[in-house]
Amino acid sequence: MELPAPLRQGVERILEKVPLPVLKQAAKTLSDRYRAELRDGRLHMAEDMAVKAYLATRLPATYAAVRASLDALSAARPDYAPKSLLDVGAGPGTVLWATTDLWPDLEQAVLLEASAAVRKVGETLAAEAMTAKIAWLAGDVTIDLADLKPADLVTCAYVLDEIPPASPPKLVDRLWQLTADTLLIVEPGTPAGWQRILAVRRQLIEAGAHVLAPCPHDAPCPVSPPDWCHFARRVARSRLHRLAKDADVPWEDEKFIYVAASREAAPSRPARVLAPPKSGSGKVLLKLCEPDGSAGETLFTKRDGDLFKAARRLDWGDTLGGTSG
Ligand SMILES: C[S@@+](CC[C@H](N)C(=O)[O-])C[C@H]1O[C@@H](n2cnc3c(N)ncnc32)[C@H](O)[C@@H]1O
């Protein structure tokens, strides 16, 4: 998966004159802070150079994860097309770009972001390319959500791991109040990210939400540690990304986990593939999360006819109904 062309070109323009050693150092600092899930009262992207490092090394991956999560929720509710978006912890506008790529008729968006440096870059990138009416707000997701208006789609991507561990329940409660239709929360696909998403999922189900994706049910999650539910997207690394990270491989696999919950139930809830399929001649073994709330491996062979043909085409994150996630 790649960034939309206008976003990629905008990012290239911003990074054009940045000296490589400076970008490399900023990328290292940013990566160290993320890896440590450091919460020292400072925003990871308070400085201009940290924002540039994010654009070079993280934006393509978070974009791919968000876009894949939106694809999954759209597949679960094919008639859904939000006109309004509220995104909190918006960063450089990642969710906005993914949303307008999928639903070009989006009319308005409100983006809340604490870092002035990130907001400035996000505004510059979007101003040149977007037709939707966009408002960028300065604010803290843990305290500044009182005056916001509900939106059809409410989102929060890669943010819960940056706020105090006690803050998510209150934030999720407020985000759900602000959700006219569907709420999407995305986190890194680590065991800790999955635990945060599990807690959000439980809270939303208790509040009456219907889970659209990835789970085909509202029952307790059947996956248990040391296993954890997550998905992955392969992301092409730009030349600058490779140089900034001293990386040889021209791609990376971004692992992510998400929950999409709605006021409207999905019309159908097919089983979802929870791991890379294992295939051999005339057979494929799929780890599936099932609509009855169970999860486990199912073997499909030629004897299953059309079902085998469908199963053979599936990838990690897809549903047995044939749609991707
Ligand atoms: C990892 S970035 C994710 C950005 C974007 N959502 C994405 O998926 O690419 C986290 C963003 O949340 C912002 N953030 C962190 N804590 C925040 C808070 N308390 N209030 C508002 N924004 C916050 C950071 O400044 C950063 O831009």
By most ligand atoms within 8 Å of CB, the mutation choice from 113, 136, 196 for ligand 1 is 113
Q: What is the DSSP string of 68-101?
A: HHHHHHHHHSTT---SEEEEES-TTTHHHHHHHH
188: CA distance to ligand 1 center in Å? 13
- In the predicted model, is pLDDT for residue 323 greater than 60? no
Radius of gyration of the chain from its Cα atoms, rounded to whole angstroms:
20
pLDDT of residue 45: 80
- Closest atom of ligand 1 to CA, residue 156: 6
Please list the residues that pair with 211 across neighbouring strands.
Answer: 261
What is the pLDDT of the chain when averaged over all its residues?
93
66: CA distance to ligand 1 center in Å? 14
- Closest atom of ligand 1 to CA, residue 142: 19
| pLDDT band at residue 247 under the 50/70/90 scheme | confident
Share of the chain above pLDDT 70, in %: 99
| pLDDT band at residue 325 under the 50/70/90 scheme | very low
Write out pLDDT tens, residues 257-308.
Answer: 999 999 999 999 999 999 999 999 999 999 999 999 999 999 999 999 999 9
- 134: part of which helix (H) or strand (E)? strand 133-138
pLDDT: which is higher, 130 or 294: 294
The single-letter code of the amino acid at 196 is R
By most ligand atoms within 8 Å of CB, the mutation choice from 43, 144, 155 for ligand 1 is 43
HSE (side-chain half, CA atoms, 13 Å) at 323: 20
CA nearest to 4, candidates 78, 75, 73, 59: 59
Write out pLDDT tens, residues 39-61.
Answer: 777 788 878 889 999 999 999 99
157: CA distance to ligand 1 center in Å? 8
pLDDT of residue 274: 98
Q: Phi then psi for 299, rounded to 5 degrees? A: -95, 130
Residue 15 to residues 48, 56, 268, 305: CA-CA distances in angstroms?
11, 8, 44, 52
143: CA distance to ligand 1 center in Å? 14
pLDDT of residue 244: 80
Q: Rounded CA gap, 27 and 6, in Å?
A: 23
Write out pLDDT tens, residues 95-116.
Answer: 999 999 999 999 999 999 999 9
Residue 19 to residues 25, 60, 80, 154, 240: CA-CA distances in angstroms?
10, 20, 44, 37, 11
pLDDT of residue 321: 76
Neighbouring CB atoms inside 10 A of 47's CB total 16
Flag whether the pTM goes above 0.85.
Answer: yes
**Whether 51 contacts 239, CB under 8 Å:** no
Return the exposure string of 183-193: e unless at least 16 CB atoms fall within 10 Å of the residue's CB, then b: bbbbbbbbeeb
139: CA distance to ligand 1 center in Å? 11
17: CA distance to ligand 1 center in Å? 25
Write out pLDDT tens, residues 150-185.
Answer: 999 999 999 998 999 999 999 999 999 999 999 999
pLDDT of residue 129: 86
- Give residue ranges with CB within 6 A of ligand 1: 43, 45, 62, 66, 89-91, 94-95, 113-115, 118, 140-142, 157-159, 162-163
Tell the residue nearest (CA) to atom 13 of ligand 1.
89
By most ligand atoms within 8 Å of CB, the mutation choice from 55, 162, 175 for ligand 1 is 162
91: CA distance to ligand 1 center in Å? 5
In this structure, the strands spanning 151-157 and 133-138 are unpaired
- In the predicted model, is pLDDT for residue 202 greater than 60? yes
61: CA distance to ligand 1 center in Å? 15
| pLDDT band at residue 246 under the 50/70/90 scheme | confident
Average pLDDT of the residues in 227-231: 98
pLDDT of residue 301: 96
Q: Hey, what's the torsion of the CAs at 33, 38, 44, 49, to 10 degrees?
A: -30
- Closest atom of ligand 1 to CA, residue 66: 8
pLDDT of residue 37: 76
